[in-house]
Structure 1
């Protein structure tokens, strides 16, 4: 509220005294909980410390002068743009367009006898008619746009002027009372809870969370806990008919580093920025002005790199065909490669990504992205979880030795990295709005001996979690990218039947009917999904 308005309404003191009260309120708020009851500021009483006039009067006077000067400068600029430049442009352009342009378009003003369309449409390109076009069209547009943006950049967007203006505005809006302390027994305030939910939801929209999952966040995630493999390399491996090894046995050229992924992201093509257009429209609706109108026009014609805000990352949701190895014969990899190559009219998913500007894609597969045990040391009796969990004394000497060798195939540090991947990043790879998820819901024609046919994609716990997570925050329509963010390979067009978002309570019911190779994963999966759904659905 302006000091002059408040002075007229309250009817007490001068403007200088009112500014002094504003400065005193600023001092009182900085005291926080240390302020005693005698220093509290009410709407009808104001207690100041001794010598406060000498201390705060210059500050209040300076803030008032800066605020007045800033508002006056902004009003002058808005007046110059809205009253002088815009009408001048209209007075110059409209007569020319209404009188001269139709004659040129019809060929009536051409330098020869050529009349008609389309030859006459090119008559304006000749020198006698190029000059008026430049004088009455191009130059007025340049006069309007360039000085307007220059003035806005120097004054309306100047950080120093904006900082002074915001400081003055906050000083004039300080409350009369000291903020009350929060009730420690009531938990977070509603505003703090809302801010926390917003931050959690941003985890599944912003790109920083993915880079932190790859590079480490300095707290729960360390660099190298998760690595992504190259889609180009993976497709070439499938074409050769080879089997995908575990992470520890992969060559270094199979991986894409975070630096490589960042460069791939920066190579995305330009397109219409719908989000930026919506922001400019919202700004123009809230604060109509020539500057906001020009920003709205610029956003309509502007083109932004990576307009769909996608990440060059693909997560694959699939079934493990065996307890120790997901695809020992490589048939699932060949099925995945064949399906991805046949998408989008034969271009394939990789071709569609290249059209968008992504030269390659990083692929998340838990088998190759996280540290795994050596499947060669697996023994058939280990499938019995109850037997495998027994002590060495309850097992035969050979069984105990086999189990020790199998567990030792992954070091303690690698196991800790794998556990961090499950607990802190597994939700990101499927629920993040900028990551493409491929659902390998179809099983290969040839399955390993003894495979349980009842263990389909929909009856498994981890795949249920991955699919429901992918259905939470993905965009249904992309502006430039020509692929779906959730791809079901069982569908010839690569589409997925999108269902309503699954609530945590519904997820608990679904997991109760699903099967896990490791029964201990059930509680972990439910906790992960509850955290993910609360963050994503809480910010919709």
Structure 2
């Protein structure tokens, strides 16, 4: 029986679908179907089935010779064209790209195969462009790409559904044949590659070969063969050459057919011969001959996907793709029915199963994450899934309906086993009975609700019952469904397409509503009376308090983890299960750690001890209202108040224009307080520094723009202060501010040809791929410049004052631990130093400002916050942010921090354009930044920088002089530090006041041997780092002697908090 592709009937249908019969004129739409094709014997084909046949979605697959798809803009053009045409996928030939590629953009995926190196302009290369729908089908089939047979053939397999909801494979191939004058050996290689790929299709797959065949195959069959069984139909251009004969033989051998030759069209040409000016039909979509009747249309397109000398060809096929997303663990837990846990016996059994899953009854050895996983696993294994609610009308007559449905299914099975006339009649009768009972159930339900409404109106049951019934009746016959989220209107008037865009609109609206400057006097809060100290609460929570708090957990919102409140309530029903929860609560009370775990589980326990608490979530919440939260010391017991020492975290509005700071309303701005120091929005608000939207830079570079001085940059390019505040709230990794360090290419303009602009835009595109918004400091765009010094057009006095104010803040901007610095130490490719006299030929390291900016960024920043863009190589498409960090941060030539005297000594050898004024300023700024950053730093991550002994010794000098008194964690993982470097660190830590608060030292993945470890153990034994709790030495060259020295240290207990992990 012929299986037409159409959508599945879906759940909830009570009739068995039949395959409709359809006959078409062979001269217009497609081949005529054989009589009786697709009919089930003895089953009536009514009008309803014929109408539903046209509801099947039709998908279009395109093929075109691209004649060059080298650039990203050309690829974006192809994606836009496929989106505009609502295409399912496209096979592309002559892409002229290089290597194997998998590029994702806006939900579309491009898969390419091409030579490693193209000769000249390039001629080879094929690709397949998948729409989001095709991507889902491709991933459902395993996301396999067949690109290993050469640069002329590529294939993918996709998984869709046919008319009965069965899985159906689509095997799409893109191929580019050699030209007709190519040697036979090249043609043999191409046919071998194509045959190899075709052999990988699975049984039953629909083969679709999108090919530029470079051959004219004529029309009709050769040798009097029946047209219904040949490879070429009766339509097309009647011209046949040698390459066409060869292609016909290949198609006959592999049972393929040229699809467009079976559909009558006004024109067939796909390529115009440059000499004869005659149309040639070189581009074809070839399919398996047995699947010909599945396609509804094919031929040459009116127009192209992208600009080329070839026309595009298309084919239409009916099928459906189910976009079933894999449920997250939280969603899977939400489907579980926790009602059985209300039974005490089942709750006890659940708690027992959780404890058995843990394998231990020692609560102190189990963390929250381990306990949560055990609870989740036990719930998934023991609890049933909630049944999907049936329609109300079905539930009212469920007994009758279930019986007739069961009878219908039985008669259908009998008819399938023995398809006689009597069996078919019984099956038709059973189907009719089902439909009759469905109509009767719906009618009875509606009449019953109308009767209830009449009773309410007449006063028998009251108007409340009547209106409640109206609400039920208004909901309709279908089961209640959650309404789709409303699409918010964006600033440009268009509607949001994704939940993220919806959230962005909400965030902007709330920011405008609540982010304004407060109109009241904050000092009033200091005069408000505080609650008296509740002495009775200052104790470790008792068992009764924990039991009471657990019993009062709400079962409405399980939180991000998805663990329902009833799971925790069932867990505490046994003494062993309660012991684990009690340990979590008491551990949090004593240490105030793992608070986010308790929040994720839906357990809300507040700290009541007499200490200040500033958890990230609490601070972030109250930051939106310009407050900090303090708990306990003054007896406020968790009430928010404005402390006299607190800073307003986010406040006031930014100027509407960076180029016109007079529009600023003059509100008093305080500093944004973040871990690791302060950042000064007052400088931003005054207009001294303007931050550029990273997205604007990417778009400007893509349009071929060239940098202009700040005074000529449009206002749309700038981020306002409110924009920065909003981006900071959404940032998960610090301040969303980027500072660029690069050498000017000429004395008058930093980048006259836009070469560096395009390099920086490439990095910014990768960084913004996660959806994060960044403000970029680019000196030429962010500070006021001389508009045209050659014609004596200079900065105004006001602009000059702002320029100097901005220079004074550069130290904080580049050295702040939470800003990101992009270093561009190399010249752009093809840059010629002798191109013009105006060119600046000094290297990056020899320039005063560049060296200073690099030194600032080397102070306390984590290793992933100072990137060397000179190491950027890849074309970032997938995992762009992480790939950029991996290439540009690890081993990126970053130096260790320099002491101010060392920096001053090196600075004498650097060149400045205005040395008399800049050198003293730079020295002062560096010393201030050095002291500011190291005085407050608590965590230093210098990992995977490939530092050796010399760099470790330089770092040791800083610690030896006591410049990092608050340091708690030092991470030197992934470097090349040996014994000498470890000895230098040991000597430095042994100095008085070097690291009095150091708690964690990570020296893993280095080259430390026995001598280095013995020196470190000796220093620790003499009192160095007295608070050290964790020492990591994995993957070093440590032998027996070093381990013995460490064992003696642990045995003597001279470092009381340090314990052996292994």
Task: Using structure 2 for the length normalisation, give the TM-score.
Answer: 0.26
Q: Which has the higher contact order (CA 8 A, sep 6+)?
A: 1
Q: Which has the higher strand share?
A: 2
Task: Using structure 1 for the length normalisation, give the TM-score.
Answer: 0.49
Q: Which of structures 1 and 2 has the bigger CA Rg?
A: 2
